[in-house]
Amino acid sequence: MALLLGALLMITACSGGGASSGGAGGSGGGSGAPDDGSAEATVSTAVLAITPEDGSDNVATDELKVSVRDGELTSVEVTDAEGNEVEGELSEDGATWQPVNRLANGTEYHVTATAEDAAGLEAAQTATFTTVTAADTFIGFFTPEDGSTVGVGMPVSINFNREITNQADVEQHITVTAEPEVEIAPHWFSSTRLDFRPEEYWEPGTKVTLSLRLSGVEGAEGIYGTQSKDVSFTIGRSQISTVDAEAHTMVVERDGEVLREIPISAGSPETPTYNGIMVISEKHEVTRMNGDTVGFGGEYDIPDVPYAMRLSTSGTFVHGNYWSSSDTFGSANVSHGCVGLEARQGGGGNTPAQWFYEESLLGDVLIVKNSDDVTIAPDNGLNGWNMPWDEWVAGSAL
């Protein structure tokens, strides 16, 4: 009887404890309240879910998502192994959270999420996972440089070091904005080049920002981006110069006023200068010009060309010319396609070439007309202004 009584006491004690604990830890986030409603709930009904699951490997960089059912998210913290926080966005109803940008490749992340139900009871969940390791990476080399002041014709041009096949996804993670606001459209010239510009030249004083959010973006199969940065530049005064190849002159206008008319020598009848809108993309106080590099064989090799500014990828420059006689400028076209201005060997002397060089910015516009050549191709240099706006907009992958 003593053994039986002891057994009954043990059963009674275990049953009493079990009733209390069972109410507090019911599966599915139950209320924990007794059937007669005599006590308040002690467990949140909010049910949290973190995707991917805890311990996952080779997670896609766009897979992370935190959600809650029967409640609202109150806190989501995502950090990498070094403690860097991941920026995220909460939905209007408070039910889901996702990162603003892709996660980095080959990185371990830790997630801590909390939520509350209608009664104010809190639920929490954590997860740790590692993103996929990239087999290869890509970056974009951009023009213009951060912090620069450029002319009104300067586009944003990005050249990728790998061919981009997922162009829509990459384009979606690149934005170009301006203050004051203006419509800006992207155009893919090739699988490795993406440019942005407004319909008309930029307004002087405009502040432009390029935002690259390519970290973790898959540009092609197994090739992921690594960049996440902002680049800002300012549009300076408006300087537009017009070369009349037939009249052998260049008129330089700034903010609508004529600064100077300069006698020039354009491309000869055998090697005429391109017509069209060109943008200064490089400036060199002195440079070497070798015909071998642009398809003219050994016709010329000049090691000290002064005040040279590039207008095309194919080798068109506006530059100083000291080897032609002074009466050439304003009367004859003798170059291999460049626009030549009078200069002195070694530079200096306040010649037309020096003056124009010192008054010019990267991004300034030079327009050539009345030449015997075709209009320059929009992708030959930073010269997308030669493409109609509707055709430019049609070049977006989105």
The residues annotated with a catalytic role in the active site are: 319, 338
d(CA 291, CA 300): 5
Q: Copy the structure tokens of residue 121.
A: 């009871």
d(CA 132, CA 2): 65
d(CA 190, CA 198): 19
Answer whether 138's CB lies under 8 Å from 215's CB.
no
Other beta carbons within 10 angstroms of residue 387's beta carbon come to 20
d(CA 118, CA 72): 8
Q: Copy the structure tokens of residue 377.
A: 């191709």
d(CA 158, CA 229): 13
Partners of 85 in the β-ladder: 79
d(CA 81, CA 85): 10
Q: Phi and psi for 239 in degrees, rounded to 5? A: -125, 120
Please report, for residues 65, 110, 116, 225, the alpha-carbon distance to residue 358 in angstroms, rounded to integers and kept in the order given. Answer: 54, 54, 65, 38
